[in-house]
Chains A and B, each alone.
Chain A
Amino acid sequence: MKKILRLSFANIKKHKKESVLFLILITLGMVLLSAAVSAVTGIGKITPRMVEESGCYKNLVSIRQAHYSDRYLEFLEDNPDVESFDHTSFVSDMIKVRTKDEGDILADISFVPLSGECRMESFEPDPEFRTAAHPIVLASANRDKFELSEGDDFTIIWDNKEFTFTVTGFYETGIWNYGTKAVINEVDFAYLENVMDDRFEMIGINTAAGADEQSVLSGFKAFAEEASINDLSGSWYSSAYEETIANNNINMSILSIITMIMSAVIVIAIMIMIRFRIVSDIQEQIVSIGVLEAIGYTSGQIAASYIAEYVLIALAGALIGAAPAMIMAKGLLKNAASSVYYGGPLTVPAAPVFICTMAVIAFVGITALSRACTVKKYPPVMAFRKGIETHSFKKNILPLAKTKGNVHIRLAIKALFQNAGNHLGLTVCIMACTVLALTGFILGTFFASPERILSSVCGHELCDIRIEALGDIEPEAFAAELKGMPGVRQVLTPAVGIGVKAVNGNDGMDKDIPLIAEVYEDYSETSTIILTKGRFPEHENELCVTVQSLKMIIGAQMGDTITLEYGKVKKDYVITGIVNSVVNPNTVYITKEGFKRMNPAYTPPAFDIYLNEGTDSKEFAELLRERYGKEIADYKDDEITGDTLEEKIRAAADKKMAEAMTKQGVSYMEYAISVGDKIITGSTSLMKIKTLTFEREDIEEVADMLLVSFAGIAVIMMAVSAIVVSLILSILMASTIRRQYKELGIMKGLGYTSRELKFQLAFRIVPVAVLAVILGTVLSILLIGVVNAFVCKVIVSASSIALMDIVVLIYCFICAYISARRIKKISVYELISE
């Protein structure tokens, strides 16, 4: 053993630089692989831990309060499959939060009353909560997000109204509405419940041991629908515990899986490079091998010395990489935990790091063994004769007598063909790196603009301002009026977010699939609803779907007919196209006439305003308010104030009318109030705006966050590829120069300059790189095709891919050229003196 190790150490010492490069490559692969595996293992424990630490219910059902009744709970009360359950009200919406620098951040916040949260989770507020005027306890994820600490003001803006709370603490939430929750006192909750529209009832259920969660939840829904004599599909959201764990794990594991893919590329590179280098070493040291065999070393011992050399390097990599792997695993876990807003303690499992490290060492050993065994082919005499290779007379490929043009290119290609076998591995390495870099580049550049993110992930039309109108307005006239306003480019009259159901699919089975319908008169006028296949609906019996909708309606495909149901009316529609969407996945797109088949009384409730470039949406909104009055909520929530009695009466009347319009669906009201001899009159004619939203602006904030994430992942993928390519080319060049030391020295003696020889060596990899880049590009496009089929349409620009391919080729050439700089050190004199 000592003999073997001595030979291995001698080899490592002799090729210090290459050994260091191998060490870096192996350490990098080991760190990425073990960190990713460790993180994925740890990720699986986060959701159960959230449940355990928060004491929250495992199975959750949230129902819009308008459709909720306590009668539904009867199903749970006497159910032997239900161990325990409880419920609370909460309100939830996208609201703006005032930051410390007086800016606004859009955030999804769910407000829960203290008593409700205490029932749903083991929540215990701080003593300050009881004493503060408007206390709030926020999910701990919000501490960093809004840079808050205990005692700070927390101001929310909703419908142009500001509500200020005092932060009394932070807490780790369970799995219901994690990260977005805020606990407030009963009085404040009652107030918010009154003013906010999205009110829900959350029911938490723990099933008895052995009970099927899914059947309990579906039974619960069936019972509720029967009790209410209503279809609750559009307002019933349930999640079984196992389903929550699976979904959370998928969401949390994305970065770790990308890391795993990167480590796989590195491991492939390690395998190929070890095989290449051992072959080079044996060829270079063949005479020494013969000498060693002649003096009594067995070929097994010599082969073992090669294996030991790489195992020793891998062991060193394990020692160096263990701590970074744990740190990186912690980082990945932290990132994963932050995606479910879990801020509790995280334990990095050490076992996967250890197992992966051992696996990489074993892999390195086995790879080395597979090549080192070739030593056995060379008994001493054959080794002295430099192996059989030099006595096998190959056909002269590309004879120099036929050289046309550059001799250096000819010599480079000639050498490439002479070592074609060795370059096969390099092709695989560069191809894998190209796939990684190109996929990162395509995703990175595609999602580099908020516009593209919006169009590819939304599947939703984004106007500048959306007006939800009230009262008995005449849609066409109102749209024409809006279009006539200064700064308006276009006005569309859509309906969005209408709950419909697909009731049967192509397989003939009855289904009950909740979908969201978007209704536009003419889809050719829309700009951010992007088709990936087919065409937009043009006739009343046509519709488009998202990829995800299509998947839900099992068996359906383009050209098939599906049946939609709205308000108990069922109609058939032909699928004419598929739309890109990630964030609004379960959507169908129907024309106005098409939707009228199910709802003949349909009139468009919304008006999408598109402004000319340079028109400020906030200023335009003020113009709208001047012309059509404030948003209805403003009247409803206004304090009854005024300088005169008449003003106070008018304010009170407006408030009453606003309440009637929003709560009772009144479309028009007039009033006449007699005060003494004076009659004060008014009407709802100036209450045309129910809500006014800045669609594009709001979504762009979300898109900006996505943009940072995509850019980060793309940069990491490209950086890892660049590092791996530079390392493998360095190793390759070092080995090649060492093996061809004599030839290169002779050529220098003949008058070839170092620069010309560097060019020749670097140019050898160009055909390999071209082939690898072509294959890598094809694979990347196939990979993007998978993303297109299952997630969203990523538009691939042929010119940018071609540009990236050229960059990869130039990068490979530059890396090879720089790595070949050691040629300069070859002195003809040294060669001759040897």
Chain B
Amino acid sequence: MNTVLRTEKLCKSFSNAGLQQHVIKNLDLEIFEGDFTVIMGASGSGKSTLLYALSGMDKPTFGKVYFGEEEISSYDNDRLAVFRRNHCGFVFQSIYLLDNMDVFDNIMTGALAARKNSPELVEHIKTLLNQVGISEDMWKKYPNQLSGGECQRVGIVRAVINEPKLLFADEPTGALNSSSGQDVLDVFTELHKSGQSIVMVTHDIKTALRGSRVIYLRDGGIVGEHRMPDYGTEENKQRRGSLQDFLNEMGW
């Protein structure tokens, strides 16, 4: 498997009222192409901090992050922005659609950050929206006219519109009810099956079950890693069992 992203002794600290809080400590990690990597851990273990350091949303305090052979941790903010728009897609827990734009414009805003407008792009968006179950009558609607699940599916289309090398997701179902959450996770599974590399942070077992590799974080370091069995006929039972065992081992 090809490595898409790797870290070397990654550290991230925050200063709060003069006190240094070390959230990520000397973390070495590789993210592989085509993998659906799930990062789990207890609250405060550094999951989201790691995700944002990996994705170039935030800069590490020490250590290095490599995208292929490029060391992105040395980039300035504007270069990181260009990196994000060209290689990454993001799905947030709070969705973060732009309230003042309709569904189509929200996706176009993400798309046009990286490329020029074209009839093919517009067609591609339409296809993706249909694929995630957002019908044409919703395209002109504003975010506050949609349900949470619909918003998140729009968010996923926005994240993948530029065909990113890596799709990052931070608790994508955290703000959704269980039915909407399942719909969203189905979209992720489909994306993974089509070859999309995904890195997702979650503390929900049902969500983690969709992954192909689970990394467990504690106190800013990786304490365990588990590769999930492939999808098959007995998929759910086998995958659930193996994940359960792993998490038990981790003290979940």
Nearest chain A CB to B102 CB, angstrom units = 5
Q: How many A-B residue pairs have CB under 8 A?
A: 102
A742 lies within 8 A of B78 (CB): no
Bound Cα distance from A746 to B81, whole angstroms: 11
Q: CB < 8 Å: which of B52, B109, B141, B142 contacts A832?
A: B52
- Those of B70-102 within 8 Å (CB) of chain A: 77-78, 81-86, 88, 90, 92, 94, 96-102
A362 within 8 A of B: no
Check B140 against A400 for contact (C-beta < 8 Å): no
Chain A residues in 8 Å Cβ range of B109: 400, 411, 747, 750
In contact, A403 and B117 (Cβ under 8 angstroms): yes
Cβ B113 vs Cβ A404 within 8 A: no
Within B37-94, the residues touching A (CB, 8 Å) are 48, 52, 57-58, 77-78, 81-86, 88, 90, 92, 94
Give Cα A185–Cα B142 distance, bound, in whole angstroms.
94
Whether A400 contacts B108 in the complex (CB less than 8 A), given A752-B85, A753-B81, comes out as yes
Contact residues in A for B83 (Cβ distance below 8 Å): 751
Report whether A751 and B81 are in contact in the complex, using a CB–CB cutoff of 8 Å: yes
A828 touches B117 (CB 8 A): no
Q: Interface 1/0s, chain A 407-430, versus B by CB < 8 A?
A: 100110001001000000000000
A35 to B58: give the CA distance in the assembly, Å. 52
Contact A399 B105, beta carbon cutoff 8 Å: yes
The 8 closest A-B CB pairs, nearest first, are A751-B85, A400-B108, A407-B112, A753-B78, A829-B58, A753-B81, A403-B117, A751-B84
Q: Known contacts being A400-B105, A743-B98, is A749 close to B78, with CB within 8 Å?
A: no
Chain A residues contacting B144 (CB-CB under 8 Å) are 390-391
Interface residues of A in 358-416 (CB under 8 A from B): 390-391, 393, 396, 399-404, 407, 410-411, 415
Q: List the interface of chain B (C-beta within 8 A of A).
A: 48, 52, 57-58, 77-78, 81-86, 88, 90, 92, 94, 96-102, 104-105, 108-110, 112-114, 116-117, 122, 140-142, 144-145, 158, 170
Q: Please name all residues of chain A whose beta carbon is closer than 8 Å to the beta carbon of B84 when the two chains form the complex.
A: 749-751
Write out the residue numbers on chain A whose beta carbons fall within 8 Å of the beta carbon of B122: 401
Question: Whose C-beta in chain B lies nearest to the C-beta of A743?
Answer: B98
**Given A824-B77, A828-B57, residue A750 in contact with residue B104 (CB < 8 A):** no
The answer, among B98, B104, B108, B142, for a CB contact under 8 Å with A393, is B142
Give min CB distance, A415 to chain B, whole Å.
8
Instruction: A742 to B95: give the CA distance in the assembly, Å.
Output: 12
Contact A751 B86 (CB under 8 A): yes
Q: Are B57's CB and A753's CB within 8 A?
A: no
Report, as a range, how many residues of chain A touch the other chain: 35 or more
CA–CA, A418 to B86, complex, Å?
29
Task: Tell me the nearest residue of chain A to B112, going by C-beta.
Answer: A407
A715-749, CB < 8 A from B: 742-743, 745-749
Given contact pairs A400-B109, A751-B81, enumerate 4 new A-B contacts (beta carbons under 8 Å).
A393-B141, A393-B142, A752-B113, A828-B52
Which A residues are within 8 Å of any B CB, using their own CB?
Answer: 390-391, 393, 396, 399-404, 407, 410-411, 415, 418, 742-743, 745-756, 824, 827-829, 831-833
**List of B residues within 8 angstroms of A748 by Cβ:** 81
B145 touches A393 (CB 8 A): yes
Which residues from A are CB-within-8-Å of B104? 399-401
CA distance A747 to B77 in the complex (A): 13
- A233 and B133 CA atoms in complex are apart in Å by 98
Most B CB contacts (10 A, CB to CB) among A393, A415, A751 go to: A751
Q: How far apart are B233's CB and chain A's nearest CB, in angstroms?
A: 39
**Are A749 and B57 in touch, CB under 8 angstroms?**
yes
Q: Point out the residues of chain B lying under 8 angstroms from A411, CB to CB.
A: 109
Chain A nearest CB from B220 CB (Å) reads 16
Nearest-CB residue, chain B, relative to A828: B57
Whether B58 contacts A827 by the Cβ 8 Å rule is yes
CA distance A743 to B96 in the complex (A): 8
B117 x A404 contact (CB < 8 A): yes
Q: A396-B105, A752-B85, A832-B92 are in contact. Are A390 and B58 (CB under 8 A)?
A: no
Residues on B with C-beta less than 8 A from A753 are 77-78, 81-82
Given the contacts A400-B105, A401-B108, A827-B58, A751 and B114 also touching, CB distance less than 8 Å: yes
B142: which A residues are within 8 A, CB to CB?
A: 393
In the bound assembly, the distance between CA atoms of A393 and B99 in angstroms comes to 11
> Quick one: closest B residue to A398, CB to CB?
B105
Contacts of A829 in B (CB 8 A): 52, 57-58
Complex: A27 Cα to B114 Cα, angstroms: 46
Instruction: Take A828-B58, A829-B52, A832-B170 as given contacts and tell me if A746 and B112 are in contact as well, using a CB distance cutoff of 8 Å.
Output: no
Smallest beta-carbon distance B137→chain A, Å: 14
Q: Across the interface, which residues of A come within 8 angstroms of B158, CB to CB? A: 750
If A396-B105, A400-B108, A829-B58 touch, does A752 touch B81 (CB 8 Å cutoff)?
Answer: yes
Residues of B within 8 A of A396 (CB): 101-102, 105, 140
Say yes or no: A403 contacts B108, CB within 8 Å.
yes
A400-B108, A403-B108, A832-B92 known; A743 and B100 CB under 8 Å?
A: yes
Nearest chain A residue, comparing its CB with the CB of B161: A750
